[in-house]
Each structure stands twice: as C-alpha cells, then as structure tokens.
C-alpha cells in the first residue's frame, strides 16, 4: 500500500502531499495531548448537535402542536442534512484553510441551534434542524485534520482518540438532552448547545494551528474528484465496503432495539431504554485500541478479529431476546467490533493521499452513511415479518458478508486468488451484488415513507 501511494505521488506532481501548518502553528510532530483532547471534545459536541432532538420529539410535538408524523420528520431532515454535508461540505477541507473552515462551521452551527431554539412553528424548526445536520459534518472535518497534524507513527492513536469523542458525543447527547429538558424545557437544550458551540469556536480559533489544503481545484472539479477517488483507489473502495457493512450491522441493532425492549418480555420505559445505550461506551475503548494496533501495522488482524466478533455478537443478541445479560454482552461486543473496523479503515485510508484526506473522508463516510440507511431500511421490513429473531438473522448475514469482504483485504488472499481471472470476476460480481441490495433497500425505504 505504501508503494502504491508513493507511485501515485510520483506520477501526479500536482497532487503532492499537503503542506504542513503555516508559520506560527504547531508542526505535525508538535500535536500536543491537550490539543488532541480538545479536538476529541469538539468532535463530540459537533456530532451531538444532530442527536439532541431524538428523546424530545414528543415534547416538541406537544409544544408546537405537531402530529407524531410531523415531529418524526425532525430526525429524517437531520439525516438528510448530514448526508448533504458529507457530499457538499466535507471536501472543502482539501480546498480551504482548515482552522478557518472548522471555526466558521462551528459558529454557524451555534446559529442554527439558536434558530431551532426560537422556532415558533414546524417550518423554522425543520430549517434549523436541516442546517444543523448539514453543519455537523464539522466532526468529520476535524478527524482528517487531526490525522494531518499527527506524526505518522502516532496517527492511528490520534484518530482513535478523536473518534472516541464522536462515540461519546453520540451516546451522551440523548442523556444530556433529556436532563436539560427536564430542568428548563426543550428550548433550553438548544440554547445551551448554541452557547457551547460559540465558546467552542472561540477556543478552537486560539488552539488550532493554521493548515491549508492543497487540492488546487475549484469547487466543481473538487466534488468530481471525490467520486474519482473511489475509482482510482482500490484500498479506499475495499475499506468503504467494509465500513458500509459494519455500520449496516450497527444501525440494524440500534434501530430495532427499542422494539424489543418496549415489547413483551421487557416492557421497559423510554428512560430505561435510553440508559442501555450507555453500553455503547465500549466503542470508545475499542477506538483507542484499534488506533494503537493500526500504528503497529496490525490492520489485517484487527479487521478480521473485529469482523468475526461482529458475527459472534449476533448470537449473543439472539439469546438476548429473553436474557438481559446476553443482550448487554451482545451490545458491548457489537460496538467494540464495529469501532475496530471503522478506526482501522480510517487509519488506512488517511495514508493513501495526504493531499486529499478531506475528499477521501467524504467518499468513505458517504458509503458508511449509506450502510446505516441500508441497515435501518432492511430491519424495518424484517422486524415486521420475523421479529427479533429475523433481525438477528439479518445482522448475522450482514456480518458474514463483512467477514468475507475482510478476508478479501488480507495480503495472502490478494496474492493467491486475485490474480486468477475467474475468481477476480466473481469477487467483482459479489461486490456489485452487495451494492445492488443497497440500492433496492433504499428504494424500499423511499416507497415505505411515501406510503
């Protein structure tokens, strides 16, 4: 992989590695521990902005006089905004000065949260939510920024630390939202979040070094080059497929878990279901461990072990239909395995093109997000027809595909099998089949929403 990166750089002098920070900023070897922790906290706050509304939908609906269906649009609009941000905003990290981009997006997020806080009707509420979703991709701008600033031998560890902030932000957003709403109402949640983002923007402005991307392209060609990276970079394609399947498993679990816990056998309240989400904090530990293993070159081992653990977690989750201990163990194992795949993927793709880390992140995270949509769409249909056992069978099937795809990334597999035309073609057909299932799942989701 290193040799292919070197040859790419040699053949394309116009796309040489991105320059280091401008004068006055810390160099790549000077990324302090405090700066890494700050970036991790910033990633957590940015991604949390997209999750505050989820436990508040009923309260918001009653306050604004909305139907349940209208209130549910808040989550949908946030997801659409985030998807657009991945495609349209994230590549700007390769074009603009990074510190200015991060601080500008963070300050804009504060404004969009304030707009949500004052919203008198559904229209402004959805507008504020959509803008917040679009701008919350600041978290994904910060991750490759941290990778750029880190020394190569510490890159995996730094990415793991920053990504642990993202995991904790997703988990704690719902808890903090519920606590603040209990004290001062749902609008208080957004006012506090807006103030926190404004303070964060000022803090990042003082703490982060300047760092300008070197794409050398206008915005239109920049977006086209993002899609081109998936064609030109086989490692990115392979890792995007792994990320898609891993997040499909993750999304399948968390989309269906509330149905199990609120139904016969458990009958848990919303607050009890929310607390179970804290079991996902294990993902933050896995992010650290996977980053350290990536720095040691153990990416193939980490990927295979994580894929097999993900497959095994669905066995525990199947037992969890009637045993809470097995359910919690399955959740912890799935989150550990999912983060193991995800952090290893990021460590590898960031080594491909230092000058294109923003666009590489955009391409990878778009595939990753599609995986989440696939998992959510499929699990809705499967749960309606086959219940929790069907969900576990679906998750195990996705995890098995992940294991097969992970085996295809092993050097021994590539050297032994990929040179044989028939097997190479079979592997291509299998990958195309996975993507076809993805498209069909998204079409099914659209039809279900339309009805």
- Rounded distance, CA 391 to CA 380, Å? 9
Strands (E), 93-176: none
Q: Are 141 and 43 in contact (CB under 8 A)?
A: no
pLDDT the model gives residue 259: 78
Q: Tell me the Ramachandran region of residue 204: left when phi exceeds 0, alpha when psi lies from -120 to 50, beta otherwise.
A: alpha
Burial letters for 371-393: b for 16+ Cβ neighbours within 10 Å, e otherwise? Answer: bbbbbbbbbbebbeeeebebbbe
- pLDDT per 10-residue tile (average), the chain, 451 residues: 37 37 41 87 92 79 79 76 87 86 95 94 91 91 86 82 83 80 89 96 93 72 85 90 92 80 78 67 67 78 90 93 89 87 89 85 87 80 87 93 86 52 48 50 47 47
Residue 277 CB neighbour total at 10 angstroms: 18
Residue 350 CB neighbour total at 10 angstroms: 25
Q: Are 99 and 47 in contact (CB under 8 A)?
A: no
Of 331, 286, 298, the C-alpha closest to 313 is 331
pTM tops 0.85: no
Q: Which H or E run contains 196? A: helix 186-207
pLDDT the model gives residue 284: 65
């Amino acid at each position: 992989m290193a040799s292919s990166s070197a040859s790419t750089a040699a053949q394309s002098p116009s796309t040489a590695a991105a320059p280091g920070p401008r004068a006055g900023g810390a160099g790549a070897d000077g990324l302090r521990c405090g700066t890494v922790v700050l970036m991790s906290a910033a990633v957590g706050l940015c991604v949390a902005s997209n999750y505050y509304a989820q436990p508040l939908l009923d309260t918001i609906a009653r306050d604004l006089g909305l139907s349940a269906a209208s209130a549910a649009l808040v989550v949908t609009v946030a997801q659409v905004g985030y998807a657009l941000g991945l495609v349209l905003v994230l590549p700007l990290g390769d074009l603009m000065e990074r510190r200015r981009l991060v601080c500008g997006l963070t300050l804009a997020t504060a404004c969009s949260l304030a707009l949500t806080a004052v919203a008198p009707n559904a229209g402004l509420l959805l507008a504020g939510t959509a803008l917040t979703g679009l701008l919350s991709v600041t978290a994904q701008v910060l991750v490759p920024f941290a990778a750029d600033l880190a020394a190569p031998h510490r890159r995996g560890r730094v990415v793991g630390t920053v990504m642990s902030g993202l995991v904790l932000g997703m988990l704690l957003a719902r808890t903090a939202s519920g606590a603040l709403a209990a004290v001062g109402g749902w609008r208080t949640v957004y006012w506090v979040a807006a103030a926190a983002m404004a303070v964060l923007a000022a803090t990042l402005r003082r703490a982060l070094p300047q760092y300008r991307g070197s794409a050398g392209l206008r915005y239109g060609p920049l977006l086209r080059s993002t899609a081109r990276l998936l064609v030109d970079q086989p490692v990115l394609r392979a890792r995007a497929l792994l990320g898609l399947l891993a997040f499909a498993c993750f999304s399948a679990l968390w989309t269906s878990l509330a149905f199990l816990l609120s139904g016969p056998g458990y009958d848990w309240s919303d607050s009890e279901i929310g607390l179970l989400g804290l079991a996902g904090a294990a993902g933050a530990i896995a992010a650290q461990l996977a980053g350290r293993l990536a720095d040691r070159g153990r990416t193939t081992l980490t990927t295979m072990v994580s894929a097999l653990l993900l497959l095994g977690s669905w066995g525990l989750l199947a037992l969890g239909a009637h045993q809470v201990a097995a359910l919690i163990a399955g959740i912890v194992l799935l989150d550990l395995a999912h983060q193991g795949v995800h952090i290893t993927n990021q460590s590898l793709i960031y080594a491909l093109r230092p000058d294109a880390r923003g666009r590489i992140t955009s391409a990878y995270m778009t595939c990753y997000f599609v995986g989440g949509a696939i998992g959510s769409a499929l699990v809705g249909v499967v749960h309606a027809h086959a219940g929790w056992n069907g969900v576990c069978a679906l998750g195990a099937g996705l995890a098995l595909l992940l294991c097969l795809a992970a085996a295809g990334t092993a050097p021994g597999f590539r050297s032994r099998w990929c040179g044989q035309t028939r097997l190479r073609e079979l592997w291509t057909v299998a990958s195309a089949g996975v993507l076809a299932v993805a498209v069909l799942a998204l079409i099914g989701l659209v039809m279900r929403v339309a009805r």
